[in-house]
Each structure stands twice: as structure tokens, then as C-alpha cells.
Amino acid sequence: MEPSYFPRTENDSLSFRGKQLLSGRHKIHPYPAMLHPLLVDYLLEKYINKPRSTILDPFCGSGVTLLQGVLRKHDVIGFDINPIAMLISKVKTSTYDKVTLYDELEDIKDAVSNSQDVDIPSIRNIDTWYDPKVVLDLGRIRHVLKSKDYRHKSFFLACLAYVCRHQSYTRNGEFKRYRMPESKRNNSKNEVIPLFLNHSEIMCEVFTQNKLPSTSIHLHRADVDANLEFDLEVDMILTSPPYGDSGTTVAYEQYTSFGFEWTNDLTPEFEAEPNYYKKSLGNKKNSGNGVSNVEVLSETIKRIEELDSKRASVVTDFFDGYYRALRNVCKYLKPNGIVCFIVGNRLVKNQTIPLDQITASFLTSQGMTFESIFVRNICNKVMPSRNSPSNLKGVQSSTMTSEYIVVCRNTT
Ligand SMILES: C[S@@+](CC[C@H](N)C(=O)[O-])C[C@H]1O[C@@H](n2cnc3c(N)ncnc32)[C@H](O)[C@@H]1O
């Protein structure tokens, strides 16, 4: 057991056993390490008692916090560096005109069925990742979406992004790009058009079932570890940051790269340069001088350094950026505002990185007052079940089975 400086409280009722992770609008596009909507609901109910509060998720990913916030009639702000994350977040939190959405679906159905015109973006090694017929059909859908000014275009682009990944040669259930050998491609039949139309139709139904409350929604594709110059005041920061150097954890960029390649130029508000992910936490080289005075972190780094100094410097780089990101977002918290960081304690070189403790230390170093750390079991989170923390081929260990919810308050 690693030393625990900030007390943890087990809360089994937060495990939501048997409760679906993907439901309602969240089904439009899965995303790695999504928050459980019921956990977000619980935290919003517990800590926010004022109607129309402002909730910020600075690593919003697929927008679980944002949608649950809107459903509770709060104003929401989301940042993320990943353009597909922003597209999904926008689509989930938008309001749809039922008649227009269905008319557009019909129009797209007709156009895709009756035209053979294609628009295929320039994708490196395209034949390595897709069957040639899949490429043509993705190109047909893209051509249709590009050729008209659909009011709800983003909705259909999110459906297309989902299909691109699904119909590629990557292995389902794998977050990193992994090309299945030919013998294993039993689901490589070209189903692009039926899958796209079917998914769009089901989602049209889900998205038009209920009207979202009208609240204010701000989404920015932003690097939170850079200078953020927004003029904001928020009541709550509720987020789940990356858990470590992304080379060995969940590969957000690789997971979304298929959709990115086919839709990036069609989503001008979130359009990103192809190597945008190099700026994500864990991928940037940092100076490593911001966090050495946090005891729990320096002890952790020391343990890893004794085993592998290169790996220790990658971990240090991650925490340097993480610290800056926390500092950047904490400045937006109103007095008495609440901050909840949902994290996992991963292994590096078989050493536990107590991210909950480090996060609590970072937050308290920003003047926040520690409130609690809840521990919950993550039986239904979309995470890889095994990883190789030592990076030795074939040596695997179970990844996290618990999630830690670090709660602090701005008492300054
Ligand atoms: C754990 S995921 C968030 C998942 C999200 N809570 C959800 O429910 O879908 C962490 C997110 O941090 C984002 N990220 C990594 N580095 C970032 C940076 N420097 N600035 C902004 N976002 C970043 C990743 O793109 C990823 O979407």
C-alpha cells in the first residue's frame, strides 16, 4: 500500500454496478475513459445547489460532464485538445429541430444511395487501414456531407467519425491503433453505408426525444497547459484529466484518429493540425522544475528513477504540465467554488503513481482546501483491462480497478 496523506473514503454506492455507461446521447460516439454519467449527476447534485451554476470541464473529452450539466440546467464550459472530443461534445449538447434533422437524414439517405461521387481526403497509408470498398463508401458519405450546407452537419459528422473507426482494420476494444492481421478480420465486411444510416437514424430518435434545457454552452479546443486567456468565473470544475504519460495509457488521439482523418477539414471551429496531440499532457517535453517541492510526487519519481531514469523523466514531464494545467484552471474558480478531479492511480515500472494524492497536493498548493477523496470501483468504465506498466513485451498487470474522486474547495 502506498502512503496515504489525504484520507480516502470508500464509497461503494458510487460503483453503479449494472448501470450502463453508454446511454442516451452518450451513445453517439464512444470515447476512452469516459466518465460515468451517474457519477457526474451525483457530484453535481451533492456540490451544486444553485440553479444555473457554471460548470467547467477543462479535459472534457466526449462531454459527459457537459451534457449532464446541461440536463441539470447549468451553464457549461468545455476545453479539450482533441478535435473529435470537441465535435462529440458539441453534438451532444446541441439542440435539434426534429423536422430539420429528419429531413436532412432523408436527404442524405437519398444522396448517398443515388450518387457514386466520392471525396477521399489524403490519408497516409489509407490502404493499410481500410478495405478499398470501405474507402469508396466513406468517400461517398463525405462527399454528400461536404456538398451541402446541412444545419445539423456536425451531428452527421459525428456519426461518420464513429463509422470510420468501426470499419477500419483496427481491433475493436483497442484504444491504440492496432492493425488486425488478415486472418482475424472477421468483421471487415464493408458495411459503411448501412452502418452510417442506421446509427444516424437511431441517434436521430434519441436526440429528438427530449428538448435540452436552454443554457449557455462554451466549447473551446484548447491546450489547458498553455496560456489560457478566457474571462471566466465558474462555480465548479468537474473533470477527469489524463492519468499519465499518454504513450502508455489511454491513447485518446489514436482512438479518434480514424474519425479525425475523415472529418477534420469539415469541422472548421475545431480543426486541428495533424500533430496537435504532441501538445497533450504527457507528450510534451517540459522543464520539470515546477513540481519538485510536492513531497508525494518527488518520492514517487525517486522510486521510478531508481528503476529507469528515462521513464522517470517522462513522468516528470507529465506532472510538470499537469501542475500548470491545474493552476491555469483553478484561477477561474469563484470563492467557495468546488473542484472535483476524477483520477486513477496507475502503475509505472510496477510502482503505483498516487495521482489522487498528487492531485490533492497540487490543488491545496493553489490555495484550495481539501474536502475528501472518494474511492469507487470502476467495473464498467471503458478502459483497457490489461496494460504493460513495465513496457516489457508479454509482461502485463491489471490496470486500475478503482477511481478516486478528489474534492477541494476554494476557500480563499
Ligand atoms: C480522461 S479523458 C476525459 C474523458 C471525459 N471525461 C469523458 O467523459 O469523455 C482526458 C482528456 O484530456 C485531454 N487532454 C490531454 N491533454 C490536454 C491538454 N493539454 N489540454 C486539453 N485537453 C487535454 C484528452 O484529449 C482527453 O480527452
For residue range 176-190, what is the model confidence (pLDDT) as tens digits? 888 888 877 765 689
How high is the mean pLDDT of the chain? 90
Is 161 within 8 Å of 90 (Cβ atoms)? Answer: no
393 pLDDT higher than 50: no
User: Would you list the DSSP string of 153-185?
Assistant: HHHHHHHHHHHHHHTSSBPTT-SS--BPPGGG-
pLDDT at 148 over 90: yes
* CA 259 – CA 160 distance, rounded (Å): 7
* Residue nearest (by alpha carbon) to ligand 1 atom 25: 82
Gap from CA of 223 to ligand 1 centroid (Å): 10
- pTM of the model as a whole: 0.94
Mean pLDDT of 203-230: 95
Which DSSP helix (H) or strand (E) runs through 134? Answer: helix 132-147
List the Cα angle 241/243/248 in 5-degree steps.
Answer: 135
In tens, the pLDDT along 66-100 reads 999 999 999 999 999 999 999 999 999 999 999 99
Distance (Å) from CA 62 to ligand 1 centroid? 9
331-378: pLDDT as tens digits: 999 999 999 999 999 888 899 999 999 999 999 999 999 999 999 998
Q: How far apart are CA 98 and CA 149, in angstroms?
A: 17
| 218: three-class secondary structure by DSSP | strand
pLDDT greater than 60 at residue 384? no
How many angstroms separate the alpha carbon of residue 380 from the centre of ligand 1?
A: 19
- 281 CB near ligand 1 (under 6 Å): yes
Asked if residue 244 has its Cβ within 6 Å of ligand 1, the reply is: no
Residue nearest to atom 13 of ligand 1 (CA): 59
| CA 115 to ligand 1 centroid distance, Å | 38
Half-sphere exposure of 152 (CA within 13 A, CB side): 26
Residue among 55, 81, 253 to mutate when testing ligand 1 (max atoms within 8 A of CB): 81
Residue type, 145: L
Out of 3.40.50.150, 1.10.40.30, 3.20.20.100, 2.60.40.10, select the CATH number for domain 8-82+215-246+281-410: 3.40.50.150
pLDDT, average across residues 145-162: 97
Average pLDDT for 377-394: 52
Per-domain residue ranges of the chain: 8-82+215-246+281-410, 98-209
Non-local (6+) Cβ contacts of 397 within 8 A are 347, 350, 386, 387, 388, 389
pLDDT higher than threshold 50 for residue 291: yes
- Any atom of ligand 1 within 6 Å of the Cβ of 85: yes
Cell numbers that stand for 73 in this block: 440546467
